[in-house]
Amino acid sequence: MKGRPLLYTSYEADQGLLNTTSKKVMLGLFLLVLVSIPFQVIPGLKFLGQGGWLRLLSTTAIFAIGALGLNILTGLAGQVSLGHAFFMGVGAYTAVWLGGPVDGPLLGLGLPIWIWLPAAGIVAALIGVAVGPTAVRVRGLYLAIVTLGLVFIGDYLFRNWASLTGGAQVGRDFPPLEFRWWKEESPVIDFTTPSTWFGVEVSGIAKTFFLLALLAGVYTLLAKNLQRTRVGRAFMSIRDRDIAAEIMGVNEFAYKLLAFGISSFYAGIAGALLASFLTRVIPEQWNLFLSVQFIAIILIGGAGTVTGALLGSAFVVLLPRIVQNFTLWLQSLALEGEGILGAIANVFIATSQTDFGLINTMAGVGPGLSVAQLNLVLYGLLIIGFLIFEPLGLFGIWLRIRNYWKGWPFTY
């Protein structure tokens, strides 16, 4: 009996996070690769250990935390929220109020990270629960526009509360990622400058990456576990049919409020980390586009799945860099202008004022789209494309691949 796939002899085994051997092996390998990335030991993946890519991977970890939060609200509880950026902003400014320098011109209490990071989540969660009653009262599509209103009201507050946020278009510095017990002179662990850990040289960005990946891992585990509890199942029942859920004894109002709170907690943590990671942030950062990015992440990844939120984060964060590299490659082909490849590239790339092309590589050249604009258009098209053709997102594609090989060579 032992070792047979899909044969479970206890409920614990059936509900287990790693209920198959291949899942255990894959997770182990994934963690090994993750740890090895900054040390550039795996051939073919060495480029990921360089500064720029490592920064992107760190950003991925932060976005993953935010996306997990939105996934709980939208994917599990089925409440569409465009207000995620607002709660991230609340988290970031809570963090800077508690963790910012005491003697500076702006508000700050100079407290250590173990206070400001959880506080960022808690304050965001409290505000989420406070605005919840308005949001929970309205249903479905009205909710999307109410949360849209939150982003605009938040944007106005952040821009005008200059003593906290630094003011419109100016912004302020956020507390760095460093661990202190209290207000010591030098931090116990500094996650931004290079040092030696266990006899190994670790660069500053590598340490930041390790910290953020660890945090993302912890929050992934929490989100995954939430799905398997009474609360998670209540969320899903509200998503699937709210009236049926109520009849079964799920308190719709309380659980919707709870979903708002948990989602806002994640958003607050992600906001604080993002601001701290970017070091300087202007109040306009927390705008509608950030919210849309998170919607895109969970839709592209696959709504309602934790793996999907992680895949989607990696996809959305890494996409601009990949598009940029691809465009540069096309440009080099077009400029060399030889062979069929060069001719094809030339159609897409505008290299001079008179040259026609869909993409231009220099600002203000020709009518083509700049790389940044191309990225935006791709975002839009990906959201549309995934919703029309693959509603389960990247996770759905993965499921199909997995199920194909499960029965291989049979098709059933």
| List of residues contacting another protein (CB under 8 A) | 78, 80, 134, 137-142, 144-146, 148-149, 152-153, 156, 159-160, 168, 243, 247, 288, 292, 295-296, 299, 367-370, 373, 376-377, 379-384, 387-388, 391
CB of 250 to another protein, least distance (A): 15
Q: Reduced to 3 states, what is the DSSP secondary structure of residue 197?
A: strand
Specify the residue for token string 């505000």. Answer: 127
CB of 56 to another protein, least distance (A): 21
CB of 80 to another protein, least distance (A): 5
C-beta of 85 vs 216, nearer to another protein: 85
C-beta of 211 vs 369, nearer to another protein: 369
CB of 150 to another protein, least distance (A): 8
Phi, psi of 179 (to 5 degrees): -100, 125
Handedness of CA 296, 297, 300, 304 (dihedral sign): negative
CB of 139 to another protein, least distance (A): 7
C-beta of 220 vs 263, nearer to another protein: 263
Burial status of residue 352 (CB atoms within 10 A of its CB: 0-12, 13-18, 19 or more)? exposed
C-beta of 122 vs 168, nearer to another protein: 168
C-beta of 292 vs 318, nearer to another protein: 292
Specify the residue for token string 């073919």. Answer: 44
**Which whole-number Å values give the CA distances from 280 to 39, 256, 274, in the listed order?**
28, 34, 10
C-beta of 49 vs 396, nearer to another protein: 396
First to last CA, the chain: 23
Q: How far apart are CA 183 and CA 173, in angstroms?
A: 18
Q: How far apart are CA 361 and CA 186, in angstroms?
A: 45
CB of 186 to another protein, least distance (A): 39
